[in-house]
Structure 1
Amino acid sequence: MDATRYILEFLVLLLLLLLPTIAGASSDTKHLIAVRSALRDPTGALAGWDAANRRSSPCRWAHVSCANNSAPAAAVAGIDLYNLTLAGAFPTALCSLRSLEHLDLSANLLEGPLPACVAALPALRHLNLAGNNFSGHVPRSWGAGFRSLAVLNLVQNALSGEFPAFLANLTGLRELQLAYNPFAPSPLPADMLVNLANLRVLFVANCSLTGTIPSSIGKLKNLVNLDLSVNSLSGEIPPSIGNLTSLEQIELFSNQLSGAIPVGLGGLKKLHSLDISMNLLTGEIPEDMFAAPGLVSVHVYQNNLSGHLPMTLGTTPSLSDLRIFGNQLSGPLPAELGKNCPLSFLDTSDNRLSGPIPATLCASGKLEELMLLDNEFEGPIPVELGECRTLVRVRLQSNRLSGPVPPRFWGLPNVGLLEIRENALSGSVDPAISGAKSLSKLLLQDNRFTGTLPAELGTLENLQEFKASNNGFTGPIPRSIVNLSILYNLDLSNNSLSGEIPEDFGRLKKLTQLDLSDNHLSGNIPEELGEIVEINTLDLSHNELSGQLPVQLGNLRLARFNISYNKLSGPIPSFFNGLEYRDSFLGNPGLCYGFCRSNGNSDGRQSKIIKMVVTIIGVSGIILLTGIAWFGYKYRMYKISAAELDDGKSSWVLTSFHKVDFSERAIVNNLDESNVIGQGGAGKVYKVVVGPQGEAMAVKKLWPSGAASKSIDSFKAEVAMLSKVRHRNIVKLACSITNNGSRLLVYEYMANGSLGDVLHSEKRHILDWPMRYKIAVNAAEGLSYLHHDCKPVIVHRDVKSNNILLDAEYGAKIADFGVARTIGDGPATMSMIAGSCGYIAPEYAYTLHVTEKSDIYSFGVVILELVTGKKPLAAEIGEMDLVAWVTAKVEQYGLESVLDQNLDEQFKDEMCMVLKIGLLCVSNLPTKRPSMRSVVMLLLEVKEENKPKLKAVATLPI
């Protein structure tokens, strides 16, 4: 009886102890259901969080974990909702889960302010809200809460206000990650570095940090990962960093750090990655910098470093990735570089390095990228590199290399780019080149190569660009070249090639540039060249070609055409009568316009000519009256045009912004309607050839005041902007020419027109993915210059594919500054909307407030065009604009569903990364859009050679 009573008392006591736990578990279920109700869940990821499952333990629900899953009513300890496309505000019901230790809501579409209540969760150790749209300030109450917090990750949101220095009070933090948020410019808090003694990860890249790096950073003895990149930090790198013996990664790139690299980094035994590139560092590289035994990656490029490389570089045991380009380093590379380490990526470009190329670079058999361009290296290419089967990119141009190229080096099977131009290399192209099956670009120009070009070149089915100009090649052009079906650029000019041009050249359907000038080619010009409808540059000048000019060339639309100084004869077809072709036929005495004299004319031929003349006279008589009327009309139009263009010779004023070799009359006298190459809302654009070198210029004639537009404002704006800017990716304004009635702007001529014209026409196949990527980077760098390097800031206001022009090499430049504006520290209010449909940022359309973010939205649309191949507004995407169409498709089917199907699938991963950057640029919230400087960084990180920094792209919230 007593035993029974004791058992009953024990069970009652146990029940009393379990009641709070059971009640807590029941309460957690209720809170999770409230969380689901507060969120938009388009994919149904939280479908199981339902009232129908109220009786089941939430520990069995998807994305939920409990501290003790075996307990009958365990409390919720972890919630992981990473990348579930959830949207809405932060669900405050989460703050009621009192046992919550781990909360991950990263890579979703959550927005609004950060919740203050989450700081009161007593057990919370891990909080990850990265990759969302949270905005506003970090709640100050967070600095007084979070009793247990060890990990705080707010990366890639839209947080603003001052950098939250009060987080230094969270002394238990082991990881603090606030990177890629647009905080107000603030110094890096010294207290934070003193108080957070347990910190292992400090990731505050792109947080608008200013000032210097405090020396107190040396107190973070447990720090493993230090990333202060992409800020505005200045001053020297504190030597105290050498005290952080736990460091594995140092990322200080893209700041304004100056002074010398501190001695002591070699003592960091665990260090494997060091990136201090894109700063203002000077002096020599310390002897001990490569002494760290685990050092895998070193990036010190784009600084002002000088002196010789330390010899310890040759003995470092783990080095795989070394990038030192864009400095003033001199002397030789260590003779044993690569012998003792698994070197896979080496870029020493744009220095003053000399001596031989070390034969040991590929001793480990892992070298993939070798870029030694623009130095003073001398001697032969090492024979050992011909055995390096792992190489994929080789750039050795602009050095002093000499001697023959090793035969096996020609045939490396994985090399896609082989660039050895501008050296003193000799010998011939070995037939072993047939082994280079991955080769897409072969650039040999400006060397001393001789011999015949091997027929094996025709087996390189991936070859897109072959340049071998300014060498001593002899013999015929290999007929096998016509097998290169995707070749778009062939330049064999200034050699000693002989024989005929292969008739089968018409099979090269993707050829856009063909230059065979300055050789000894003979025979007829093949009429099959007229079948290459995509070609825009054809230069056959300075050869020994004979016969007549094929009429089939009239099928072509050539931006550059030259057959001067040959032995051609016969009539010049009428379609070559334009002024743009006036210098295309020089030095061919047998060529003539109209009827040509011939010593062999028969009486029958003379009779035919007489009959033809009579017929012409008869027809002329019939149309005489009409002609007189038409002449009267044209005369009146001429008088109007003359009034616009000429108020007297002395009235024209030429204002130059660069050195020019022509007069205002050379421009004005060539504004012929046959030279018009474009027309828009601001005026007409002409192609004019001027100067002693026959340089082509683009001349924009703005509409006269009061006739079709705002030409005076447009003219003043464009001159004011472009006369000041100097950047390789901004179209160059050579001069302006004005009189009382007309305004002319004279630009450099861009041979391939606008991106919009090429991308959305039958020429689009010319733009493969590497070219599109190059265009995106070029245009981004141009806009970044306007936004970050011009004072005051210049906002373009009409960024679109038609205002991105392409030069002969398909390099991109920003053009048309007619509606551009300078702005101060805040948004500028415009009186009317400028821009083009499909590109205008939503806040600009509603508020007329313009900031740099408006340009970034428009540039994001251009990225979407490049990735999808579609226009911003097109029937094929229905009534939506391109942004809405891409967003909807990506949400429903994923990133790959919108990629241009005409592009090579091998670049799919790169295209998806660039697409994510584009989608970030077209965010509805301006604060969510990155700066153009960040866009450039993100784009550069996409490429294989920038893989160590891919984390920034990989974590974008798409």
Structure 2
Amino acid sequence: MKFFLTFSLVLILDFGITSIDARPTSLLPVSAIFVPESAPAAAPIPSIPSSMADFSSGTQVNIPEHQRNSSRKLLIGLITSASVMGILILSIICLWICHRKKIGKSGKNNTKRLDSLRGLPLSSFISRSSGPIKTINEKGSVVVMDYSLLESSTNNFGESEILGEGGFGCVYRARLDDNLYVAVKRLDGGSHDAIKEFQTEVDLLTKIQHPNIITLLGYCVHDETKLLVYELMHNGSLETQLHGPSSGSNLTWHCRMKIALDTARGLEYLHENCKPSVIHRDLKSSNILLDSSFNAKLSDFGLAVMDGAQNKNNIKLSGTLGYVAPEYLLDGKLTDKSDVYAFGVVLLELLLGRRPVEKLAESQCQSIVTWAMPQLTDRSKLPNIVDPVIRYTMDLKHLYQVAAVAVLCVQPEPSYRPLITDVLHSLTPLVPVELGGTLRVAQTWPSKTTEP
């Protein structure tokens, strides 16, 4: 605005002497001007050109009317142009200032989001009025939690609170306000892979909501330490239940089929309902978590990939030995069929009670797929290799059907594997209605659970 006023004033001063009013002006004689006696001698006045003599002496000059009108129009035009230009320049300056403020504000918000020292307690964001834990988040947002709260609630990350260990750190049980239990995954170090997996996990789980996918409640960044806070799954992982101290004794045949069905539903959501589709890329029994009712949920999305098929030229080979599809391992070709292969391995674990890879000798290992494949297609041999905990507890027709699904899922050629939706349709009739399937049988659900 100052620029506009100054610019207009200059124009008026420049053109006002001759254009605003061209009538003669009466001038006082030089002798009438008072000069103090003490004033210094005036500098000599240069001679005035004859063309300006009439003005200096006050002689009247006749200027035609049309010239005066032209001068007025010119002045008005110049003032109007200057006004428009001033408004335009002022508008551009205002827009630029607003843009800079918006960028600065965005940067501050991002910094705040990663500043765990200003995090808020989880209890402020959790609704306890309707059963399962739910977070009250805005779209695409997640609660930033206070580091000191998580540190104290895990007994300073004590060994007694460790629930499990992963590639980049441990998972701890944490007790928050009002006996609210959560699981806290701690990622130590600032390696590129650790940071990328942390960011991927946060980005994906803030957008994904499904009964068979773990719920992310919050996160925290404190120096080189990064923390992810999840709902607590009281019965741990499927790996612990199958291969831990209980050796699968808590898992009946119908319970195992329910876990397989829940896992397939979670994968179907990733493959078919997410836009773009999501490939988990690290599906395994340790990443399938079980709540107090043995509902299964997929977890650990640090290696997940979006946007469909990938190849070895633009993605790093990652996964867990025994679950990685052969085409991805050998050629780097990654598709949703890679998840289907890993699901087939998990299904074999549920069926046979064996680990995906077992050591035969000091330097020799054998995969469950290689060992089981010849026997899975032989109906006379199949019942003998089933996990002893569930052997002869199921309808043999159901056993053959599950074995057939597993065989299809672990086919070496990806095109021969079914879509996860087809797998889901094959398993649903084998699971009792009360467990989420369509089979009508007497309830045989395990009563034993592990509470915190």
Q: TM-score range, shorter-chain basis? A: 0.5 to 0.7
How far apart, CA to CA, are the structure 2 residues paired with 1:882 and 1:695? 39
Q: 1:695 aligns with which of 180, 185, 191?
A: 180
The 3-state SS of whatever aligns with 1:783 is: helix
CA contact (8 A) 2:173 2:181 kept: yes
How far apart, CA to CA, are the structure 1 residues paired with 2:366 and 2:145? 49
Task: State the 1:721 CA deviation.
Answer: 1.1
Q: Does 1:895 align with 2:382?
A: yes
The 3-state SS of whatever aligns with 1:845 is: helix
Q: 1:676 aligns with which of 158, 162, 170?
A: 162
> In the alignment, which residue of structure 2 is the partner of 1:220?
none
Deviation string for 1:418-468 (max 9, x for gaps)? xxxxxxxxxxxxxxxxxxxxxxxxxxxxxxxxxxxxxxxxxxxxxxxxxxx
> In the alignment, which residue of structure 2 is the partner of 1:268?
none
- With the length of structure 2 as denominator, give the TM-score of the two structures: 0.61
For 1:722, give the aligned amino acid. L
For 1:720, give the aligned amino acid. D
> In the alignment, which residue of structure 1 is the partner of 2:400?
912
Q: 1:854 aligns with which of 322, 338, 353?
A: 338
For 1:912, give the aligned amino acid. Y
CA contact (8 A) 2:356 2:367 kept: yes
CA contact (8 A) 2:236 2:290 kept: yes
Task: State the 1:935 CA deviation.
Answer: 0.9
Q: 1:940 aligns with which of 428, 431, 443?
A: 428
Single out whichever of 727-736 and 870-879 deviates more from structure 2. 870-879
The 3-state SS of whatever aligns with 1:916 is: helix
Distance 1:887 1:737, change over 3 A: same
Q: Does 1:840 align with 2:316?
A: no
Q: 1:751 aligns with which of 226, 234, 247?
A: 234
Q: Does 1:882 align with 2:368?
A: yes
CA contact (8 A) 1:653 1:737 kept: no
Which residues of structure 2 form unaligned runs of 5+?
1-113, 126-133, 138-142, 441-452
> In the alignment, which residue of structure 2 is the partner of 1:413?
none
Distance 1:790 1:942, change over 3 A: same
How far apart, CA to CA, are the structure 2 residues paired with 1:876 and 1:761? 20
Which residues of structure 1 form unaligned runs of 5+?
1-646, 949-958
CA contact (8 A) 1:753 1:806 kept: yes
How far apart, CA to CA, are the structure 1 residues paired with 2:228 and 2:185? 5
How far apart, CA to CA, are the structure 1 residues paired with 2:333 and 2:358? 27
Single out whichever of 648-657 and 715-724 deviates more from structure 2. 648-657
CA contact (8 A) 1:682 1:714 kept: no
How far apart, CA to CA, are the structure 1 residues paired with 2:301 and 2:198? 9
Matches for 1:278-293 after TM superposition, within 5 Å? none
For 1:803, give the aligned amino acid. N
Task: State the 1:891 CA deviation.
Answer: 4.9
CA contact (8 A) 1:734 1:748 kept: yes
Task: State the 1:691 CA deviation.
Answer: 2.4
Deviation string for 1:807-834 (max 9, x for gaps)? 011111000011111023x444453221
Matches for 1:73-222 after TM superposition, within 5 Å? none
Q: 2:305 aligns with which of 821, 828, 842?
A: 821
Q: Please provide the CA RMSD for this pair.
A: 2.8
Q: Does 1:928 align with 2:416?
A: yes
Task: State the 1:918 CA deviation.
Answer: 1.0
How far apart, CA to CA, are the structure 2 residues paired with 1:828 and 1:883? 24
The 3-state SS of whatever aligns with 1:666 is: helix
> In the alignment, which residue of structure 2 is the partner of 1:762?
245
Deviation string for 1:620-662 (max 9, x for gaps)? xxxxxxxxxxxxxxxxxxxxxxxxxxx9984558898923899
How far apart, CA to CA, are the structure 2 residues paired with 1:884 and 1:867? 15
CA contact (8 A) 1:653 1:739 kept: no
Matches for 1:454-473 after TM superposition, within 5 Å? none
CA contact (8 A) 1:682 1:710 kept: no
CA contact (8 A) 1:775 1:812 kept: yes
CA contact (8 A) 1:890 1:897 kept: no
CA contact (8 A) 1:796 1:820 kept: yes
> In the alignment, which residue of structure 2 is the partner of 1:431?
none
> In the alignment, which residue of structure 2 is the partner of 1:57?
none
The 3-state SS of whatever aligns with 1:717 is: helix
The 3-state SS of whatever aligns with 2:357 is: coil
> In the alignment, which residue of structure 2 is the partner of 1:953?
none
How far apart, CA to CA, are the structure 2 residues paired with 1:739 and 1:906? 51
Q: Does 1:794 align with 2:278?
A: yes
Task: State the 1:880 CA deviation.
Answer: 2.4
For 1:889, give the aligned amino acid. Q
> In the alignment, which residue of structure 2 is the partner of 1:131?
none
For 2:415, give the aligned amino acid. T
> In the alignment, which residue of structure 2 is the partner of 1:704?
189
Q: Percent identity?
A: 33
CA contact (8 A) 1:659 1:734 kept: no
> In the alignment, which residue of structure 2 is the partner of 1:727?
210
Matches for 1:357-506 after TM superposition, within 5 Å? none
CA contact (8 A) 2:376 2:407 kept: no
Deviation string for 1:772-811 (max 9, x for gaps)? 1111001110111111110001101000001000101111
Highest RCO, 1 vs 2 (Cα 8 Å, sep ≥ 6): 2
How far apart, CA to CA, are the structure 2 residues paired with 1:715 and 1:919? 34
Q: Which structure is larger by alpha-carbon Rg, 1 or 2?
A: 2
Deviation string for 1:915-936 (max 9, x for gaps)? 2111111111111111111111
CA contact (8 A) 2:259 2:296 kept: yes
Task: State the 1:906 CA deviation.
Answer: 3.6
For 1:684, give the aligned amino acid. C
Deviation string for 1:153-175 (max 9, x for gaps)? xxxxxxxxxxxxxxxxxxxxxxx
Structure with higher strand content:
1
